[in-house]
Structure 1
Amino acid sequence: MIDLGYSLSRRFPDPPQTDYRTADVRALRHDLFCGDVYVADVTADRELSTAWGWVPVLDFAWALCDIVEQLDRDPLGSRAARPQYAELDFTESTDRLRFRRRFGFVDVSADWAPDDRPLSLAHAELRREARDFLHDLVADLADMHDGLDANPVIWELTARFPRL
């Protein structure tokens, strides 16, 4: 079982003058909603997490959904023997989360934890959990920030990655 989560930072609050209804893609992906994120394999009781406080959590959820789709481009899908790779880079750091899919599993490793063995996650479950995480995160953020649920960028994002 996979668990994806986040916590918002008190050290890096959003600017008080932000109009969430009209915030553009750059602001939503890079300037707002900073905190920390984690990816956990509940069954193995292991996780990869950040502890920096400045990770844009909406961007993380968005990028994770993009990556899961990118890892599924091989026409053979879960039967593909050739590994497929993707990376999620953190904008203010040289650290990355690295994804390697082979057959129906995705190995996730982190540059900041080079001695840890990768998390091995089922691709189909990762796709479902990434989309659920995105929708749950957007709902949480919309509850905290007036107008966010009326932002067309958010509408397009949630329509692009519907819950499964």
Structure 2
Amino acid sequence: MIDLGYALSRRFPDPPQTDYRTADVRALRHDLFCGDVYLAEGERELSTRWGWVPVLDFAWALCAVVEELDRDPRGSRAARPQYAEFDFTESTDRLRFVRRFGHVDVTADWAEDEPPLTVHFAELRREARDFLHDLVADLTDMHDGLDANPAVWELLARYPRV
């Protein structure tokens, strides 16, 4: 079972004057909601401990990564591996994803000596979208007006729960 999670940082709070109703995509993806994220499967975990990762951007990009891994029309029958990466904005570190048949190997630059975390593709797709929707629900509970932001509406419509 895949577990995706986050913790917001107290060291990098959102600017107090932020109007979440009108925040643009750049602010939503890069300037707001900083913290740490993790991806776990069983006893194994890949997590950041930097405190500055934009967690909404991570959820948003993870959904895009999953879609990129599914670009071959043969899906899980494709013999050729599918590759995708997530680049952390303020770092040279990346998460790398390799899909082979119905499984995805996930590796992190900061954990090079660790074996890949292997997850089922369908489960990764479902959990990534659930994580996005749950995160947005949490953030809208904490930040007035975020649920009225058109960019957030578009994001949730683009990646509906599976």
Deviation (angstroms), 1:75: 0.9
For 1:83, the aligned partner's letter is P
Instruction: Determine the structure 1 residue equivalent to 2:76.
Output: 78
Q: Deviations along 1:64-104, whole A, 9 cap, x unmatched?
A: 00000100000110000100100000010000000000100
Residue 100 (structure 1) aligned with residue 98 (structure 2)? yes
Which residues of 2 match residues 102-141 of structure 1 at below 5 A? 102-141=100-139
CA distance in 1, matches of 2:89, 2:158: 23
Instruction: Determine the structure 1 residue equivalent to 2:54.
Output: 56
Unaligned stretches of 5+ in structure 2? none
TM-score, normalisation: structure 1: 0.98
The RMSD of aligned alpha carbons is 0.4
For 1:13, the aligned partner's letter is P
Deviation (angstroms), 1:124: 0.3
Deviation (angstroms), 1:32: 0.1
CA distance in 2, matches of 1:3, 1:75: 27
Moved over 2 A (4+): none
For 2:101, the aligned partner's letter is F
CA distance in 1, matches of 2:104, 2:24: 32
The number of residues matched between the two structures is 162
CA distance in 2, matches of 1:106, 1:23: 34
